[in-house]
Amino acid sequence: MSEEGDTFWVSLSEKFLGLLLTIIGALTLYFTVTTTTALGVFTGLFGFLSIVVLGIGVFLLVVKPPE
């Protein structure tokens, strides 16, 4: 395969993974915020982990692969 084809698929998979992580991070953050009473002490931990996953997903969507 040529270098152009490889770059296209890597870029496409990176964007797909970023979109998937963004959706998962947003959903976990939503459910963490809406169920604070059920989580109790662990609300801060799950909130932090949700923000980390959301940030990684947004980072993968924004960054451009090297040419």
Report how far apart, in Å, the C-alpha atoms of 60 and of each of 22, 26, 33 are: 9, 15, 24
pLDDT in tens, 25-50: 999 999 999 998 888 899 999 999 99
Whether the predicted pLDDT of 6 surpasses 80: no
* pLDDT greater at residue 4 or residue 7: 7
Rg of the chain in Å (alpha carbons): 16
Whether the predicted pLDDT of 59 surpasses 90: yes
Q: CB of 3 within 8 A of CB of 24?
A: no
Instruction: Please give the pLDDT value at position 43.
Output: 92
| 41 Cβ neighbours under 8 A, 6+ residues apart | none
State which H helix or E strand residue 41 sits in: none
Work out the mean pLDDT of the chain and round it to a whole number. Answer: 88
